[in-house]
C-alpha cells in the first residue's frame, strides 16, 4: 500500500521501497512497526551489535510517524500539576527532564547523521483559549521555574500579537524554546537509512499475522508473516495506535484515536509573517485542541480532533475536513482566500492514564506505546530505551518504566465510549 496523500508524502526525499519478506529467517531482535519507535530501537540495537529485523505491514512511516504535524513539543498530555499530584515532585521533575531530553535527542540524531528533515528551531507556544486558561498557564510557568528550575516564557495579552494574529487567541501564551518542528516522514526515512547502514534489515508490505512463544532460550519467538517466518530471541512491539490482535493484551490497553490535518497553499510572505510572526509551533489549551505551524515553504498546516474516529466514509471525511477548514478560518480569518492543497489523517494511541508506556508483556515481549498524541519526540527516546533494555546496558530505570499499563475498561465498546468522551470534551471546552 502507498502513503496517504499528505504534504509529507508529496515532498519525501526518497521513494526507495524495502523488500517483502519471502523466506524464513533468524535474528536476535524482531521489531514490529516501522515508525519512529521501531526504527529508533533498530538504530540503537544495531549500533550495539545486535542482528535486527524491522517488519512493517505497509511502508516505513506509513503510520502516525509519517503523518503527524512534525511538532516536537515538550511536556505530556497530562499537566505538570496532575503528574506531581499523582507521582510526587521528584518523579514529575524526572518526567519533565525526559520530555526535554527526548527533543534534544532527536535534534542530536538529526545533526550527527545529517538527516535532511527541514528542522525549524523557533520554539513552541501554547496559547490560551480563555482568560482562565491563561491564569492556568501563568501558574504553570511559575511552578515549573520554582519547583523544577524549568524555564518557559509567559506572553501576556498585551504581547500575544507578536506571536499570533488571531481573534480567538487574545489572552496570552506560554513559550518553550526547546520545542521545534521537522518533516516527519523525511526523519523516518533518515532513521531507516542510518539503521540500515548500522546493519538492520527492514521489510515492508509484510504484516506479522501471529506470534508464537517457544520454550527455547534462543529462538524464544516465531513471528508469522504471509510469506516467511522470523525466529528471534527478542521482540519489540512498536505499533502504537495500529496495535492489533496479535498482541491482544496490548491492544486492549490502547485506544486508537483519529487526528486530522489540512495544509494550505504556500502563503505570501506578508500573510505568513502577520499570522505567526515568530514561526513557532502552536497548540491551544482546549481539550479538543487545535495545533498548527508554518512549514518551511510557508504553508499553514492546521490539525485537530474534529471527532475521535479512526476510519470514516468518504462523506464523513468531507465533513471532518470541512469542519477543520472552518476551525482554521475561525483562528485565521485572513486565510479565507487561501486554497487547501493537502488533507490527511492518522491514528494516535491513547492509554487509560494518558501517559506513554514502556515495558515487557507477561510473555516477555518488549513494547513502547501510548504516546497520546505527544510521541513525535518521545518515541525516539523510548525506542532507544527499549534497545538498552534488550542489550542490558547499565542505566537507571526511568519513571515511565515503573508506570503500570492498565487495560481500558469496556475496550470493546470503544466507539460508544469515544462518542461520549467527545461529547463531554466539547461541553467542557465551552464551559471550563
Ligand X SMILES: Cc1cc2nc3c(=O)[nH]c(=O)nc-3n(C[C@H](O)[C@H](O)[C@H](O)COP(=O)(O)OP(=O)(O)OC[C@H]3O[C@@H](n4cnc5c(N)ncnc54)[C@H](O)[C@@H]3O)c2cc1C
State the residues that interact with ligand X by CB under 6 A. Answer: 32-38, 55-58, 62-65, 67-71, 207-208, 238-242, 244, 246, 259, 261, 291, 303, 345-348, 371, 373-376, 379
Query: Least separation, in Å, of the C-beta of 337 and ligand X?
Result: 25
Nearer to ligand X, 172 or 383 (CB): 383
Rounded CA-CA distance 78/93 in Å is 13
Rounded CA-CA distance 97/89 in Å is 12
Query: To which H or E segment does residue 367 belong?
Result: strand 366-369
Query: Least separation, in Å, of the C-beta of 421 and ligand X?
Result: 17
Nearer to ligand X, 138 or 325 (CB): 325
- Reference 351, options 408, 289, 410, 308; nearest CA is 408
Nearer to ligand X, 159 or 311 (CB): 311
Nearer to ligand X, 238 or 335 (CB): 238
Residue nearest to ligand X (CB): 375
Query: Least separation, in Å, of the C-beta of 172 and ligand X?
Result: 22
Query: Least separation, in Å, of the C-beta of 9 and ligand X?
Result: 13
Q: Rounded to whole angstroms, what are the CA distances from 350 to 68, 80, 188, 324? A: 15, 18, 22, 21
| Beta-sheet strands, E only, within 285-339 | 290-294, 300-304
Nearer to ligand X, 39 or 128 (CB): 39
Nearer to ligand X, 73 or 233 (CB): 73
Nearer to ligand X, 14 or 159 (CB): 14
Any residues with CB less than 8 A from the CB of 180 and at least 6 apart, and which? Answer: 72, 103, 107, 119, 120, 121, 122, 123, 124, 281
Query: Least separation, in Å, of the C-beta of 280 and ligand X?
Result: 13
Query: Least separation, in Å, of the C-beta of 283 and ligand X?
Result: 8
Rounded CA-CA distance 64/395 in Å is 29
Asked whether the beta carbons of 55 and 255 are under 8 A apart, the reply is no
Query: Least separation, in Å, of the C-beta of 351 and ligand X?
Result: 12
Any residues with CB less than 8 A from the CB of 96 and at least 6 apart, and which? Answer: 74, 75, 80, 144, 148, 150
| Beta-sheet strands, E only, within 41-181 | 52-55, 71-72, 124-127, 153-156, 172-176, 180-181
Query: Least separation, in Å, of the C-beta of 118 and ligand X?
Result: 14
Rounded CA-CA distance 180/123 in Å is 5
Asked whether the beta carbons of 69 and 324 are under 8 A apart, the reply is no
Nearer to ligand X, 376 or 403 (CB): 376
Amino acid at each position: 500500500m502507498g502513503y496517504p496523500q499528505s504534504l509529507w508524502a508529496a515532498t519525501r526525499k526518497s521513494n526507495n521501497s524495502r523488500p517483502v519478506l519471502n523466506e524464513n529467517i533468524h535474528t536476535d531482535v524482531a521489531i514490529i512497526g516501522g515508525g519512529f519507535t521501531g526504527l529508533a530501537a533498530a538504530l540503537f540495537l544495531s549500533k550495539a551489535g545486535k542482528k535486527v529485523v524491522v517488519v512493517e505491514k505497509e511502508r516505513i512511516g506509513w503510520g502516525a510517524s509519517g503523518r503527524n504535524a512534525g511538532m516536537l513539543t515538550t511536556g505530556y498530555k497530562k499537566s505538570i500539576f496532575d503528574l506531581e499530584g499523582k507521582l510526587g515532585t521528584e518523579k514529575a521533575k524526572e518526567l519533565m527532564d525526559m520530555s526535554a531530553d527526548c527533543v534534544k535527542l532527536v535534534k542530536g540524531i538529526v545533526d550527527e547523521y545529517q538527516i535532511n528533515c527541514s528542522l525549524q528551531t523557533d520554539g513552541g507556544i501554547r496559547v490560551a483559549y480563555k482568560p482562565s486558561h491563561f491564569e492556568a498557564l501563568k501558574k504553570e510557568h511559575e511552578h515549573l521555574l520554582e519547583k523544577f528550575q524549568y524555564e518557559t516564557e509567559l506572553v501576556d495579552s498585551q504581547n500575544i500579537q507578536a506571536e499570533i494574529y488571531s481573534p480567538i487567541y487574545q489572552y496570552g501564551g506560554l513559550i518553550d524554546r526547546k520545542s521545534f518542528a521537522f518533516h516527519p516522514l523525511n526523519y523516518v526515512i533518515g532513521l531507516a537509512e542510518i539503521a540500515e547502514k548500522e546493519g538492520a534489515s527492514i521489510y515492508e508490505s509484510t504484516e506479522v499475522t501471529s506470534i508464537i512463544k517457544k520454550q527455547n532460550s534462543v529462538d524464544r519467538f516465531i513471528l508469522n508473516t504471509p510469506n516467511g517466518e522470523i525466529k528471534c530471541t527478542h521482540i519489540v512491539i512498536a505499533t502504537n495506535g495500529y496495535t492489533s490482535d496479535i498482541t491482544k493484551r496490548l491492544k486492549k490497553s490502547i485506544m486508537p484515536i483519529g487526528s486530522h490535518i489540512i495544509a494550505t497553499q504556500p502563503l505570501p510572505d506578508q500573510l505568513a509573517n502577520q499570522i505567526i510572526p515568530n514561526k513557532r509551533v502552536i497548540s491551544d489549551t482546549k481539550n479538543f485542541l487545535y495545533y498548527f505551524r508554518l512549514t518551511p515553504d510557508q504553508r499553514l498546516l492546521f490539525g485537530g480532533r474534529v471527532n475521535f474516529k479512526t476510519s470514516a466514509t468518504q462523506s464523513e471525511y468531507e465533513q471532518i475536513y470541512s469542519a477543520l477548514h472552518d476551525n482554521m478560518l475561525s483562528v485565521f480569518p485572513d486565510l479565507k482566500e487561501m486554497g487547501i492543497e493537502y488533507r490527511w489523517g492518522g491514528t494516535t494511541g491513547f492509554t487509560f492514564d494518558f501517559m506513554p508506556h514502556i515495558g515487557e508483556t507477561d510473555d516477555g515481549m518488549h513494547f513502547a506505546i501510548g504516546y497520546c498524541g505527544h510521541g513525535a519526540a518521545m518515541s525516539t527516546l523510548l525506542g532507544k530505551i527499549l534497545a538498552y533494555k534488550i542489550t542490558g546496558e547499565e542505566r537507571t530505570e526511568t519513571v515511565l518504566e515503573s508506570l503500570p499499563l492498565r487495560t481500558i475498561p469496556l475496550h470493546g465498546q470503544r466507539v460508544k465510549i469515544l462518542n461520549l468522551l467527545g461529547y463531554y470534551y466539547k461541553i467542557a471546552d465551552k464551559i471550563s
